[in-house]
């Protein structure tokens, strides 16, 4: 059986990551082929993938995670360069710590 759900999540993450890049920081077409653009696109796609995965279990946290991705772009809040990115890291750390806690609890309960 083919895992169609994961392919759908990856496709949605690529769309959301690309949309985020183009909405927040697209200046010219020349920047599409630069190394910085490729790295940024990869990071935004990866973060969007985690948002899509989180949406199944934690709707409000996933929406907060997706909205916090916009704080990474320096073009959105140009007066606050570098001050808002910890909010994104904290929201993603909350999601990962919840999943780690659930994993540790399941292992602990099934140990005996």
What pTM, to 2 d.p., does this model score?
A: 0.80
Q: CA neighbours within 13 Å on the CB side: how many for 66?
A: 19
Q: Is the pLDDT score of 95 beyond 90?
A: yes
The tens digit of pLDDT for each residue in 36-49 reads 778 888 888 899 99
Amino acid 103: pLDDT: 92
80 three-class SS: helix
Cβ(62)–Cβ(35) under 8 Å?
Answer: no
Domain that holds residue 63: 4-109
Nearest-angstrom CA–CA distance, 103 and 74: 35
Residue-wise pLDDT tens digits, 12-38: 888 888 888 777 766 555 566 778 778
What's the structural domain count of the chain? 1
Task: State the pLDDT at residue 38.
Answer: 81
Half-sphere exposure (Cβ direction) of 34: Cα atoms closer than 13 Å = 9
Residue 75 CB: number of other CB atoms within 10 A? 12
Count of H-run helices and E-run strands, the chain: 4, 0
The token pair at 58 is 């934690």
Whole-angstrom distance, CA of residue 52 vs CA of residue 93 = 16
């Amino acid at each position: 059986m083919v895992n169609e759900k994961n392919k759908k999540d990856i496709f949605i993450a690529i769309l959301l990551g690309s949309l985020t890049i183009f909405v927040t920081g697209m200046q010219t077409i020349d920047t599409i082929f630069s190394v910085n653009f490729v790295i940024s696109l990869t990071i935004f796609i990866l973060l969007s993938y985690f948002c899509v995965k989180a949406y199944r279990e934690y709707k409000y946290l996933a929406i907060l995670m997706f909205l916090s991705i916009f704080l990474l772009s320096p073009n959105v809040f140009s007066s606050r360069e570098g001050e808002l990115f910890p909010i994104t890291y904290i929201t993603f750390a909350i999601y990962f710590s919840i999943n780690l806690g659930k994993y540790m609890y399941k292992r602990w309960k099934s140990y005996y």
